[in-house]
Amino acid sequence: MVSTNKLIRNYTGATGLKTGSTSLALYNLSATATRDNFSLIAVIMKAPSTAIRFSEAKKLLDYGFNTYQYKEFGKKGDLIESVNVTKGVQANVDLILEKNAGCLIKKGQEKNVVQSISINRDLSAPVKAGQKIGELCYLFRK
């Protein structure tokens, strides 16, 4: 397949998107790239030449990948801990992460992310599957 998006062949992680040009709008580009499960999009509008639109998109993508990262803190289904259940058939219940947990942060700032857990430790049967027992939060501290 032929593509007018030169980044597809020349930029590490490039995934696509759309080039375009008209006499009024000049040269435009929406470029996407993914590295380490972190995706970015760069949009260039009204570039004076096709070379400049690719060069500027590369600069934007490079800045994003060099400055930011997606930090994953937990995956859906991860075991957080077990909590005792009174009057239950089982003595305890496993607390499982309901969905993936992560965020976009500036590189080098991982140490500023603090985990906060709030759990109802006074559980009595019956406890139903999917019942909210607690909350896991990630806070950014400067």
Q: How far apart are CA 114 and CA 92, in angstroms?
A: 27
What is the bridge-based pairing of β-strands 123-124 and 79-86?
parallel
Give residue 26's pLDDT band: very low, low, confident or very high (50, 70, 90).
very high
Q: Which pLDDT score, from 0 to 100, does residue 108 have?
A: 92
Q: How far apart are CA 99 and CA 101, in angstroms?
A: 6
Give this prediction's pTM.
0.76
What is the bridge-based pairing of β-strands 68-74 and 101-106?
antiparallel
Residue 83, pLDDT above cutoff 70: yes
Give residue 32's pLDDT band: very low, low, confident or very high (50, 70, 90).
very high
Give residue 3's pLDDT band: very low, low, confident or very high (50, 70, 90).
confident
- Mean pLDDT to the nearest integer, 35-50: 96
Q: Which pLDDT score, from 0 to 100, does residue 44 have?
A: 97
**Alpha carbon separation from 20 to 32, 55, 90, 133 (Å, rounded):** 15, 15, 62, 51
Residue 57, pLDDT above cutoff 90: yes
What is the bridge-based pairing of β-strands 113-119 and 134-140?
antiparallel
Q: Which pLDDT score, from 0 to 100, does residue 6 have?
A: 83
Tens of pLDDT, residue by residue over 86-99, are: 988 889 999 999 99
Q: Which pLDDT score, from 0 to 100, does residue 1 have?
A: 63
Q: At which residue do the structure tokens 């806070």 appear?
A: 139
Percent of the chain with pLDDT over 90: 63
Residue 47, pLDDT above cutoff 80: yes
Q: How far apart are CA 59 and CA 64, in angstroms?
A: 9
Homologous superfamily (CATH) of 75-140 is D-Ala-D-Ala carboxypeptidase, C-terminal domain (2.60.410.10)
Q: At which residue do the structure tokens 């009174």 appear?
A: 86
- Domain spans of the chain? 7-70, 75-140
Q: What single letter denotes the amino acid at residue 80?
A: I
Percent of the chain with pLDDT over 70: 99
Q: What single letter denotes the amino acid at residue 127?
A: V
